[in-house]
Structure 1
Amino acid sequence: MSEKVTGNAFDFKIFRRLMSYAKAYRSQFVLSTVAVLLLAGLAAARPILLQWIVDEYILGNNARLLLVFSLVMLGVVFLEVIFQFLFIYYTNWLGQNIIKDIRTKLFEKVLKFKMQYFNKTPVGKLVTRVVSDIETIASIFGQGLFAIISDLLQMLVIIIIMMVMNWRLGLIVVAVLPIMVYATKLFQIKIKGTFQDVRNQVSNLNSFVQERISGMKIVQLFTREKVEHDKFLAINDKHKKAHIRTVWYYSIFFPVVEILSSITLAVIVWYGGLTAAVEGATSFGVITSFIYMTNMLFRPLRQIADKFNTLQMGMVAAERVFVVLDEDAAEVDTGTLEIEHFKGNIKFDNVYFRYLKDEPVLRGISFEVKQGETVAVVGATGAGKSTIINLLSRFYRINSGSITIDGIDINQIKLESLRNQISVVLQDVFLFSDSILNNITLNNKDIGLEEVTEAAKVIGIHDFIMTLPDNYNYNVKERGGMLSVGQRQLIAFLRAYVSKPAILVLDEATSSIDAQSERLIQKATNTITQNRTSIIIAHRLATIKKADKIIVMEKGKIVEQGTHAELLKQKGYYSKLYEIQFETAQAS
């Protein structure tokens, strides 16, 4: 994923794209805009009332009208509080609903990505995009866009009132504004790059921590704690330095603004007091009001830089999220046929495939699996066995040749229809942090507890599940960490069983389990593969003796085919492999 920064302090292209998500919430957008306008008007009313109160009712010794106008000012402030509430509530409501829509769209996109995308993209970075980056986008609406508009409107109204009230004093304030605006603009440009760096470092930190926590067993088994700790220190230090660079710009900008503000106030008091004392051209109410308005003008200007930075952080986050949304990595479903049920005749015809350009994995593979047959695929690691399953499920597209089911090219079958009828049990079983029941049914409402229980009894794992707390409602925690490897395999096998597949694939399903679990799976295999097309990829040759056909692979090619007995008679690759495993088993 690209981490490129546009270099602009504010990217209108990204902003327009974000605003397109606000169209669904027009009424809330309009209400927020009205609140912004009313807040600007009410804020401007305060200095005018203050000038009247000082000149006409305090210096004029009019206690009755002083009370009346003080109550009027209190009413204005009260109205301002009400509209401030509406402003804060609806701008944040708008932001949260927009990021909900973006997050939904992003997750839907990620669900359709090809396996190749996940192979090359760190999980931590995707998590950062889907969670923290999108949450940052909400600040564009809650603390950025509308707040900036409100401040700018308030500043414009204040400047107009200043020029009308006393243009000489107004010019003093206006003369300082270009310096303030320039400083603010420079600050915004400088800070955007640091914010992008901060987000990148957060993403790197997330990826590192997530991987190490997931692989903590390996870290501790190989005593790599110190090495990983040192790596973490380096990444954490980069994260710290990125944040310190933002603090550096803040520490320069805000003192500059404070100095300019203080100088402006001093000049107003000096010049206003001088003209009031010598010429009588300026009233004390005007001077008081100008002091008040100068603070009202410069305070938003100080805050507007911070709010603009909040807006920029949201824009940077949006840019990164849109990079994922714009990824051309989705699986293109070219299939048009929806097959209700496969018979299960599979044919690979001269299939060539490579993951990388110059590294072929399959070299002209051709074989057939007839309906109801159990075919085993064996060979050394890297021979291309698991690749066959990936291609059959259309996780990857072949470079040449064809793969058909019941005589139909799999590319012509709708992806959902294809995968719904193929169940796969992998060597590395993935279980969600959820109940055993939900991990078996994958929240399929058509599969009930009674059906799962009956299937578990057939396979022979019902008794094991009943020994667990809460039985079928037992939460296996993240990745099934509360269960042993063998138990996870059995759950995965039951998951495949209850889906009633037309084609069953066992990919090294018995390679990492104990003898007891293997006996259970062998029993279940005999049941589930009966009258069902099955492909078994295995290292343990003893588990596939009863297969209708065994395909032997080496370096992406089929070197032998036949039954267990036939292959032993050939005294070839399979025979040698079997003898080695048999001798190893005898020795152990």
Structure 2
Amino acid sequence: MSDSGARRPIFSQEETTYELKIPHLKRLFKFLIPYKKWLLLTLVFMFVATVADLISPYLLKQAVDIYIPKKNFKGILIIGFLMILMLFINKECSKNKIQLANRTGQMVLFDIRKALFDHIQNLSFSFFDRNSTGRITVRIVNDVNTLNNLFTNGIVNVITDMSTLIIATVIMFSINFKLALVTFSVIPVFLAVLFATRNAIKRNWRQVRRKISNLNAYIHENISGIRVIQAYVRQKVNRSIFKEVIDDVFLSWMKAVKVNGIFAPAIEVCSMIGTLIIYFYGVKLLKINGVTVGTLIAFVSYLDRFWRPVVTLSNFYNQLLVASASSERIFEVLAIEPEIKEDENPVYIEDFKDRIEFKNVWFAYKDKEYVLKDVSFEIKKGTMVALAGVTGSGKTTIANLLARFYDPQMGSILIDGIDLKKISFKSLRRLIGIVQQEPFLFSGSILENILYGRPDAKFEDVVRVCKFLGIHEFISELENGYDTQVSERGTRLSTGQKQLICLARVMLQNPPILILDEATASLDTQSEIMVQNALSKVMKDRTCVVIAHRLSTIKDADLIIVMEKGKIKEMGNHQELIKKRGIYYNLCMSQIKFVKAS
């Protein structure tokens, strides 16, 4: 219990108090504008279906009051034919209404989800630093899904139900004003029940949504961390926590259903009371001023059609509450501006010609907590520059700034004298290739993964790159060669094989500048040798920025920059830095001692 209790705050991050926020709903409904013709056509079908449905009781009244007493068989046949026709029109128009409403709703959801996905794709790395994958996924999937009922059925249904209520009421008052007035005397009773139960229903379903959110969060976390779970044999403990989480869902759901169950019977009771009033008062009117049997039958039918939509309308407010909360979270993401923006008039660079310059660069991931402090250095074309230092010294940050995943708060970074902020994203990404410590492959074939950055490349180009890197043979030996499917993150392959495929993906673009961020750090000895052999071919005659802890990787660099607490402490080649007997020397000695000890 204490274990799960300690974890519960992680799962209770979703908003639990919903308020109806009209501006968000107005903005949400703007997504309907491109489909206004489809929506109008849906409403036409809806109106025709409603009218056809409400004509039937009146036709029945005419049959009972006029044609049946006179035994007018022809009139009865005509009424029967008209009722069948009204039923046919109602069903056909209802079918078309449902199809169009769902089509329009799904297109709106498609547009909202696409807008979210497109926007998130262009957000800066800082956004992903602050938000977990699960939280982002919830915005694109869950929050948009909660709008499904509102857009596919909710809006059209509420208009249908309002139309039914209004038309039925008008017809009932036109048939007999007194009987209608007495019949609707039960409405205050219904409103009292509605206001008494609405808040309780709303509160309980909010709790259900929060518990389901907790459940989704816990499942996502467990699937993501399954290797750690099994490594620490946590299955039994996690199963206990999961049982508590799903128990919470079950109990909150049953409580909500119990409270919600009060409302439907209340509607039935109100409807029954209304029907009894019609019969009781109607029978009196039959004797007093000639209310007909057909009128009573019509009133009962209209009353049934009156109460049917009431439940839907009463639930519509809850739909609006959920939609308001979801739209707030959706628009909250859409309102986030990318911190890294392309210049309005970007410079397109065809090739890297001379040098890279860092000039007095200061950078902080959080305000004023600088991880780089007044960093300045140059990288000449065709040279290999290594970044050395302990973990957290700022090496990877320099690589991220060079790739312009972030912008420095102060100072500037230039390529051939042009500030990175002025260079177009497309040409900058074409100039710079990055091989990261953790290789990432997408679900699909090996060929698709290699072609990821250059999908228009020919298969012959892919084979040429793979042969150059020495990986063509191992790929060809797989069951389907280059068409072999790999699962998410390439779990079918060894880490070394995944890294080589990622390297092939980079090399297919043939970038003049290459960033190697701990590219061999997570590899075993044999895989490291394979990758190092490939890297030695790739790095030849190319400008390279290498981040590595291992001496064997960086000792041949033209320039080694030693970082400590965000500052450059030493610069020079391997021999020069060894002679200084400073930080770099101590790093090398500690590594040599570790190797000897092992």
Q: Shorter-chain-normalised TM-score: which range?
A: over 0.9
Question: Which is further off, 89-98 or 571-580?
Answer: 571-580
- RMSD value over aligned CA atoms? 2.3
1:237 Cα deviation (Å)?
4.2
Q: Which residue of 2 aligns with 1:554?
A: 564
Q: Which residue of 1 aligns with 2:329?
A: 320
Question: Which is further off, 412-421 or 381-390?
Answer: 412-421
Deviation track 1:310-359 (CA, whole Å, cap 9, x = no partner) reads: 45434433333222212234532236212122226111122221212353
Q: Which residue of 2 aligns with 1:153?
A: 163
Matched, 1:502 2:512: yes
1:226 Cα deviation (Å)?
3.4
Determine which of 303, 307, 325 is the counterpart of 1:298: 307
Contact 1:393 1:422 in 2 (8 A): yes
Per the normalisation by structure 1, the TM-score is 0.94
Q: Which residue of 2 aligns with 1:221?
A: 231
Contact 1:125 1:204 in 2 (8 A): no
Matched, 1:19 2:29: yes
Contact 1:144 1:311 in 2 (8 A): no
Distance 1:200 1:388 in 2: 41
Spell out the pairing of 1:114-263 with structure 2 (5 A cutoff). 114-181=124-191, 183-184=193-194, 191-192=201-202, 194-244=204-254, 246-263=256-273
Distance 2:419 2:348 in 1: 12
Q: Which residue of 1 aligns with 2:361?
A: 351
Q: Which residue of 1 aligns with 2:4?
A: none
1:34 Cα deviation (Å)?
0.9
Contact 2:49 2:94 in 1 (8 A): yes
Contact 2:521 2:548 in 1 (8 A): yes
Contact 1:122 1:207 in 2 (8 A): no
Distance 1:200 1:371 in 2: 56
Contact 1:128 1:206 in 2 (8 A): no
Q: Which residue of 1 aligns with 2:525?
A: 515
Structure 1: segments with no counterpart, 5+ residues:
none
1:468 aligned counterpart, secondary structure: coil
2:407 aligned counterpart, secondary structure: coil
1:249 Cα deviation (Å)?
3.7
Distance 2:26 2:197 in 1: 23
Give the aligned residue type for 1:303.
T
Matched, 1:279 2:284: no
Distance 1:556 1:76 in 2: 79
Distance 2:332 2:183 in 1: 44
Contact 2:446 2:483 in 1 (8 A): yes
Q: Which residue of 2 aligns with 1:539?
A: 549
Distance 1:105 1:307 in 2: 26
Spell out the pairing of 1:22-101 with structure 2 (5 A cutoff). 22-101=32-111
Give the aligned residue type for 1:105.
A
Contact 2:205 2:256 in 1 (8 A): yes
The structure-2 alpha-carbon separation of the partners of 1:477 and 1:405, relative to structure 1 and needing over 3 Å to count, comes to same
Distance 2:391 2:291 in 1: 92
Matched, 1:586 2:592: no
Distance 1:102 1:282 in 2: 55
Deviation track 1:494-538 (CA, whole Å, cap 9, x = no partner) reads: 111111112100100011112232222222222222221100100
Distance 2:321 2:96 in 1: 24
Distance 1:265 1:542 in 2: 91
Distance 1:141 1:120 in 2: 31
1:75 aligned counterpart, secondary structure: helix
Distance 2:347 2:119 in 1: 23
Distance 1:418 1:192 in 2: 52
Distance 1:191 1:416 in 2: 53
Distance 1:280 1:74 in 2: 32
Give the aligned residue type for 2:364.
R
Distance 2:294 2:483 in 1: 74
The structure-2 alpha-carbon separation of the partners of 1:2 and 1:393, relative to structure 1 and needing over 3 Å to count, comes to farther
Give the aligned residue type for 2:377.
F
Distance 1:212 1:164 in 2: 64
Give the count of matched residue pairs.
586
Give the aligned residue type for 1:301.
V
Contact 2:443 2:487 in 1 (8 A): yes
2:161 aligned counterpart, secondary structure: helix
Deviation track 1:32-63 (CA, whole Å, cap 9, x = no partner) reads: 11112212221221111011111122333333
Q: Which residue of 1 aligns with 2:121?
A: 111
The structure-2 alpha-carbon separation of the partners of 1:123 and 1:173, relative to structure 1 and needing over 3 Å to count, comes to farther
Matched, 1:485 2:503: no
Q: Which residue of 2 aligns with 1:332?
A: 341
Distance 1:8 1:586 in 2: 66
Matched, 1:572 2:582: yes
2:485 aligned counterpart, secondary structure: coil
Q: Which residue of 1 aligns with 2:7?
A: none
Contact 2:386 2:560 in 1 (8 A): yes
Determine which of 380, 398, 421 is the counterpart of 1:370: 380
Distance 1:183 1:330 in 2: 52
Distance 2:355 2:213 in 1: 46
The structure-2 alpha-carbon separation of the partners of 1:244 and 1:313, relative to structure 1 and needing over 3 Å to count, comes to farther
Deviation track 1:125-164 (CA, whole Å, cap 9, x = no partner) reads: 2212212322332321322011110111111111111111
Contact 2:363 2:372 in 1 (8 A): yes
The structure-2 alpha-carbon separation of the partners of 1:283 and 1:93, relative to structure 1 and needing over 3 Å to count, comes to same
Distance 2:156 2:349 in 1: 53
Contact 2:340 2:407 in 1 (8 A): no
Matched, 1:360 2:370: yes
Distance 1:444 1:296 in 2: 61
Distance 1:421 1:344 in 2: 13
The structure-2 alpha-carbon separation of the partners of 1:451 and 1:198, relative to structure 1 and needing over 3 Å to count, comes to farther
Give the aligned residue type for 1:76.
M
2:444 aligned counterpart, secondary structure: coil
Give the aligned residue type for 2:294.
G
Q: Which residue of 2 aligns with 1:288?
A: 297
The structure-2 alpha-carbon separation of the partners of 1:122 and 1:191, relative to structure 1 and needing over 3 Å to count, comes to farther
1:549 Cα deviation (Å)?
1.2
Question: Which is further off, 342-351 or 139-148?
Answer: 342-351
Matched, 1:265 2:275: yes
Per the normalisation by structure 2, the TM-score is 0.92
Give the aligned residue type for 1:154.
T
Give the aligned residue type for 1:287.
L
Matched, 1:404 2:414: yes
1:579 Cα deviation (Å)?
2.1
1:523 aligned counterpart, secondary structure: helix
Determine which of 418, 426, 447 is the counterpart of 2:457: 447
1:414 Cα deviation (Å)?
2.1
Matched, 1:102 2:112: yes
Deviation track 1:162-204 (CA, whole Å, cap 9, x = no partner) reads: 1111112101232223443464466556555555554444444
Deviation track 1:536-586 (CA, whole Å, cap 9, x = no partner) reads: 100111122211111111221222211112222222222222122223223
Question: Which is further off, 190-199 or 114-123?
Answer: 190-199
1:19 Cα deviation (Å)?
2.5
Question: Which is further off, 32-41 or 106-115?
Answer: 32-41
Deviation track 1:66-124 (CA, whole Å, cap 9, x = no partner) reads: 12211110111101111111110111110011111111111110001111111221211
1:513 aligned counterpart, secondary structure: coil
Q: Which residue of 2 aligns with 1:419?
A: 429
Determine which of 394, 411, 421 is the counterpart of 1:384: 394
Contact 2:454 2:509 in 1 (8 A): no
